[in-house]
Amino acid sequence: MPTSHEPKLISGNANRPLTEAIAQRMSLHRGIDVGLVDARVERFNDGEIFVEVFENVRGEDMFVVQPTSNPANDNLMELMIIADALRRSSAARITAVMPYFGYARQDRRSKARTPITAKLVANLLVEAGIERILTLDLHATQIQGFFDIPVDNLYASPIWALDAMHHFKDRMDEVMVVSPDVGGVARARDLAQRINAPLSIVDKRRGKPGEVAEMTVIGDVKDRVCLIVDDIVDTAGTLCKAAQVLMDNGAKEVHSYITHGVLSGPAIERISKSVMTNLVITNTIQPTAAVLACPQIRIVNTAPVFAQAILNTWNGTSVSSLFNHKTLKPIYEGVYSG
């Protein structure tokens, strides 16, 4: 059991605004100020990362908030070095809060002589002294089995359900949830069941790596408000093409709910020129100026759910209670209260 009276938050450089937002939400719940542990995480001239913690953390329950997004290697090293510093400072327990788990797409050997990098990352995190992982929408749920420590994988689906029921409350009978590929059907079905909407699938066939040769819509999307659901949007090529195929098949509007907005390369330009009405992402990855300036992109705050998950972990109470959108509704009160 933790020996401190309050959980302690420490942030890397990957998404400090999210960490500060989590601390604010925790302060609201606790009725006292929950600040960030005073520390510096910086780089020497040769790029080496240096961490110094200025507060006593002996016997404390520590939560390190650090998505391993771009630059993935730097952010991963930051996380491990922070964990090592805390372990050597006699912290009671170290939980890595990884809103976005990088390298999750390398969860299996896709061909001969390739690595399973997600497993390697799991080994590195445990060796660094991390004793628990808290993350959101792992690309592949089997990654939880790569760890010999507890992994709490939260889901964006309950948040999307609240958002959809708020923004489409007057026309829920027109909404159809769409999976952009066969592999994402389980994720899309989960949201469809939560909002009592039908499900459609876009079946894609690749001509060569990185290129989609053909897309076929399975299901009748004519005159429907389509909600594409996925966990990662990277260059947005497949997403924008799927939106176009849905419109070509008679859809009234296309909106997308994607948890992690990687949005690299030509993504913003493609989204700006696409037929999508909205792309809704979370703030698990700190948005760039280009993302914030794109009128089609709307960002949903994950600080409320992470703050509650951290408090539940610290208290030793259920984290799985946050899988229910009815449980999340009071946590997001004021956002989806209409």
Binding residue per annotation — 181? yes
Q: Tokens in use for 77?
A: 């090293």
- Please tell me the distance from the alpha carbon of residue 1 to that of residue 225, in angstroms, as a whole number: 49
Binding residue per annotation — 238? yes
Binding residue per annotation — 334? no
Binding residue per annotation — 139? yes
Binding residue per annotation — 83? no
CB 212 within 8 A of CB 202: no
Does residue 204 have an active-site annotation?
A: yes
Count of CA atoms in the C-beta half-sphere (13 A) of 83: 26
Tell me which of 8, 119, 169, 204 is the catalytic residue: 204
Binding residue per annotation — 236? yes
Binding residue per annotation — 338? no
Q: Tokens in use for 220?
A: 């009748």
Binding residue per annotation — 5? no
Helix (H, G, I), strand (E, B) or coil at 9: strand
Which of 193, 178, 182 has the alpha carbon at shortest distance from 224? 178
Binding residue per annotation — 88? no
Binding residue per annotation — 265? no
Binding residue per annotation — 260? no
3-state secondary structure 263-308: CCCCHHHHHHHCCCCEEEEECCCCCCHHHHHCCCEEEECCHHHHHH
CB 191 within 8 A of CB 160: yes
Which of 262, 312, 268 has the alpha carbon at shortest distance from 283? 262
Largest CA distance in the chain: 61
The binding site consists of 46-48, 105-106, 139, 181, 206, 230, 234-238
Catalytic residue IDs: 204
The binding site for ATP consists of 46-48, 105-106
The binding site for D-ribose 5-phosphate consists of 206, 230, 234-238
